[in-house]
Structure 1
Amino acid sequence: MSTDQYGAAITAQAREWPEITKIFASSDNYLNRILRGGSANLTIDVYGYDLTRTTVIAEQLATIARETPGSRDVRISQDIGRPELAMKIDRFRATALGLTMDSIALSLSTLFQGGVATQYREEDDQYDVLLRLDEPRRQSLEDIRRSEITTPTGARIRLDSIAAIEERMGPVTIRRKNQERVVTVEFDAIDRPQGDLLADIRARVAQEVLLPDGVTLGYSGMIEEQEKAERTMVMMIALGILLVYMVMAGQFESFRHPFIILFSLPFAFSGVAVALFLTNTPLSMIAYIGCILLIGVVVNNAIVLIDYINILRERGQRLGEAIVNSGRQRLRPVLITTLTTILGMLPMALSHGEGSETWRPLGIVVVGGLSVSTLVTLVIVPVVYDLMETRRERRRLEEKRA
């Protein structure tokens, strides 16, 4: 079992205890969360000013997440709340009496919390004299409503004549993101790629959740960071292929032969896709790193074959004869390079110990890609070379005849 599976088993038992109201488990393996596509924190952000409406939407999203296979530890960032007193002041009436919001707040603070009226000095010691209502007169909500405030004209009025006071549940904290109020729904993915899990949740949200005006959704968390990293890795793979092509073009002094060598790369990537599909392994960051490693090994095998064909042709052998002899002479070096790499990666691809789920995609990618690319290098690359060179020679003969 992995650390995530152990955490899921422990939290499942702990939720049965009545003393526990909220619990979630984390493997605390940041590298694992970045590189692997199987268990990472996912977040759905609900933006909106009205926390009551956004909390209702967040609860609907949490229900959908709990019902989707592969999710665990679904939680809402907005707590249940705590009791608070809300006072809504009639500003027109207060202004007519000469009262401001500051004067009302200061009066209430003095009545119930107390204010320093003067100081008492005894020899070198100095004491503050705190003035506030007597204890029996500041016990209940009715005491607040009956409290009196002095206007600038000296008149005394009751607070409930200019304000409505009610007791309600208020948020413990108000979270903001991008300068907007936000309620987040957080959950983890287990035993399933997080991309597939989020895709299912998005499909259900689009069908079942009706967003009111002023409420929007945003998907973030580790999936957002992984998508950025995937775009970077794709760009690095493309840049790596371009740089390899430029180096080979300079080495062979030809734009055609490097293209023939790179012709084996699509087949190597098809082997990667088949290997990942058969092993039910998600395409993660480690898998992308394996693809970059695969480019160098696959190209190296093709270079060994094509370079020797060119050497034999320079020695005077015909095209077909050079291709056959090169395949015969370079079969052993190509197979040795491939087998040593595959055998070296097999323990990683077949491992099932603790932490192996992080690095297993690297071994699977290299083994699958090399297995297919070797066949392509030994069979299809010579065929493509023969077709292109035959066409080139035929065109040269036609130019001479013309």
Structure 2
Amino acid sequence: MNATVRGYRRVLRFIMSRRSIAGLFLLGTLAAMVLAVVTCFPKIPKEIMSKPQSDRVVLFFRHNDYQTSVDIIEKIMPELRERTASALSGLQYRSFANISGRMNQILIDFDDSEQVGEALGRLERAFVSEGLWYFNIQAWDPAALPLPQVYALQLSVYGPDSTQKVAILDDMQRVLNESKLYGRVNVRPSPAMTRELVLSPRNEALRGFQGLTSATLSTLAKRALGGTASMSVSDGTYEVDVVARYPDAELDSRDKLANFLVPWKTSYVPLKHFFDFEERSGVSQIYSENGELAFRLYASSSAEITDAARAQKEREAMALFSEKLALPPGYSFTLDNPRVEIDESIKSLFVAMGISVVLIYLLLCFQFNSLWIPLVILVTIPLGFVGVVISLYVFKSTLNLNSLLGTILLGGIVVNNAIIMIDFYLNARKDYPDHRSALEATAGLRFQPILITTLTTIIGMLPIAINLGSGSSILQPLGIAVSGGLIVSTFLTLFAVPAILSFWKYNP
């Protein structure tokens, strides 16, 4: 340790020997910081919260032609089990099905959680949402927080006709699936179309039938097709719910409904006398956001991607659409920001970080009775942030709520080293002939305590940073941010703070 301290003092003496050398060192440090942030920061994936490492995968599926559990079990499940077995060939797993009719699940439990990433990629290639099929594959942990889904691509289609907008979404989904640009591509509403029977009232006919209106006739038609409301009938001992319905065979076609007889006075009039009947294709689902109809395409990557990679994929997708799609007149689409929640969360934590820096500065101003010395101390905070960026990039971690909380926590830790060094220098300055020798001596004396304090903090964070223990992957970005930021900040603080102070000839 003594040899380390002597080496540190020799390097520090050289840096402070001339103002030009100290200035070049500080400029070089600043340039390295800017280069590191500009180079590494855009390449760090962003997310709201890291997901716990899971050994399970859930495959959601739906087929618009089969809505009952019996049909799904008999007609779809044998094919899906064969496709699952083919996709996961060579992997050890157990699978279970949960069939509800509308949204169904195949739960896949792996013996080794390390196989989950490979399995997701295989399943995404084997099960592609298109046409009547909808698939959604994701790692699943029952203890995971219900976080908003974040997509790599999100766009909205606009135009006058809903059917045409769904057709455009279907074409876009097909183009992206063929390009293999994204792992999963889904559209809302479903591209599956349904046959609709539209009844348009004939007002001139209704005028001749006093007491009948289009509303009362529509209610009558709905009641004929769906049955009456349930009511309870009791014989004094038992109570039974009763519903009146026509047999299915009586109203199973357009002609039968058109010839349904409506009572009027002492005679009957067919329903087609009051309505024009028209069959047409229509959207099978309604999807809305904030009370407004929306027609959206969502695409996800198999793994977390950086903003730069996401932007590149967006450009490639736009080029594919321009090349292979021709939108009808009056229709358009726009790219949406798929990471609004992430951007808002990161922005709010950066605001919190700024407030913490201001509070630290005010506290230090009272402590040192100076406006300048606290600024020197606060230099350590951006040094720590550079360490956070470099460590997250090197260890392929993500920028999320936990890593930003670690950055805020780091701001309160890294200033301690500068506070100890500067306070000791101010008190010991009178014992040395000039300020440079005082800086060298006090920095050498505080080197070992600063180093030991840093190492104990890093060792305390090490189990979190290296992802030891079940569920620790959620907090791993916090451990990496604190440990990496503290290493870089401490190393640079030991040289940058004395170099800055060397420009100030403090004489008590």
Short-chain TM bin: 0.7 to 0.9
* 2:392 counterpart residue number: 276
Q: 1:378 aligns with which of 478, 483, 494?
A: 494
Change in Cα spacing, 1:81 to 1:314, as seen in structure 2 (3 Å) is: same
Measure the CA separation in 2 of the matches of 1:113 and 1:169. Answer: 20
* 1:141 counterpart residue number: 254
- The structure in which a higher percent of residues are helix is 1
Amino acid at match of 2:217: I
Query: SS at 1:108's partner residue?
Result: helix
After superposition, the C-alpha distances for 1:303-354 in whole angstroms (9 at most, x for unaligned) are 1111111001245653122111111111111111122223333443334776
* 2:200 counterpart residue number: 89
Matched, 1:224 2:340: yes
Give the length in aligned residue pairs. 380
Matched, 1:298 2:411: no
- Aligned ranges 1:118-267 → 2 under 5 Å: 138-149=251-262, 156=269, 159=272, 162-166=275-279, 168=281, 170-171=283-284, 173-186=285-298, 188-193=300-305, 195=307, 198-204=310-316, 206-207=318-319, 208=321, 213=330, 219=336, 223-267=339-383
| Percent pairwise identity | 23
Q: TM-score, normalised by structure 2?
A: 0.61
Gaps in structure 1 of 5+ consecutive residues: 117-121, 394-402
Measure the CA separation in 2 of the matches of 1:300 and 1:324. Answer: 19
Q: Does structure 1 conserve the Cα–Cα contact (< 8 Å) formed by 2:259 and 2:270? A: no
* 1:59 counterpart residue number: 170
Measure the CA separation in 1 of the matches of 2:488 and 2:249. Answer: 87
Query: SS at 2:286's partner residue?
Result: coil
- Structure 1 residue 247: Cα displacement: 0.9
After superposition, the C-alpha distances for 1:87-129 in whole angstroms (9 at most, x for unaligned) are 231544445545631243245357666789xxxxx9999x9x9
Q: Does structure 1 conserve the Cα–Cα contact (< 8 Å) formed by 2:262 and 2:270? A: yes
Query: SS at 2:294's partner residue?
Result: strand
Amino acid at match of 1:88: L
- Aligned ranges 1:101-120 → 2 under 5 Å: 101-109=214-222
- Structure 1 residue 357: Cα displacement: 3.8
Measure the CA separation in 1 of the matches of 2:202 and 2:416. Answer: 80
Change in Cα spacing, 1:163 to 1:194, as seen in structure 2 (3 Å) is: farther
Amino acid at match of 1:264: T
* 2:96 counterpart residue number: none
- Structure 1 residue 269: Cα displacement: 1.9
Measure the CA separation in 2 of the matches of 1:134 and 1:34. Answer: 47
Gaps in structure 2 of 5+ consecutive residues: 1-112, 230-234
Measure the CA separation in 1 of the matches of 2:164 and 2:418. Answer: 62
Q: Does structure 2 conserve the Cα–Cα contact (< 8 Å) formed by 1:83 and 1:169? A: yes
Amino acid at match of 2:214: M
Amino acid at match of 1:159: K
Q: Does structure 2 conserve the Cα–Cα contact (< 8 Å) formed by 1:4 and 1:26? A: yes
- Aligned ranges 1:297-336 → 2 under 5 Å: 297-315=413-431, 317-336=433-452
Measure the CA separation in 2 of the matches of 1:29 and 1:41. Answer: 21
Change in Cα spacing, 1:281 to 1:225, as seen in structure 2 (3 Å) is: same
Q: Does structure 2 conserve the Cα–Cα contact (< 8 Å) formed by 1:2 and 1:355? A: no
* 1:367 counterpart residue number: 483
- Structure 1 residue 52: Cα displacement: 2.0
Q: Does structure 1 conserve the Cα–Cα contact (< 8 Å) formed by 2:225 and 2:245? A: yes
Measure the CA separation in 2 of the matches of 1:362 and 1:144. Answer: 66
- Structure 1 residue 218: Cα displacement: 7.1
Measure the CA separation in 2 of the matches of 1:279 and 1:131. Answer: 67
Query: SS at 1:282's partner residue?
Result: coil
* 1:342 counterpart residue number: 458
Measure the CA separation in 2 of the matches of 1:15 and 1:303. Answer: 58
Comparing 154-163 with 373-382, which one deviates more in the overlay?
154-163
Amino acid at match of 1:75: N
Matched, 1:75 2:197: no
Change in Cα spacing, 1:72 to 1:160, as seen in structure 2 (3 Å) is: farther
After superposition, the C-alpha distances for 1:225-257 in whole angstroms (9 at most, x for unaligned) are 222211111011111111111111111111111
Q: TM-score, normalised by structure 1?
A: 0.74
Comparing 337-346 with 25-34, which one deviates more in the overlay?
25-34
- Structure 1 residue 363: Cα displacement: 2.8
Q: Does structure 1 conserve the Cα–Cα contact (< 8 Å) formed by 2:166 and 2:190? A: no
Give the structure with higher Rg (CA).
1
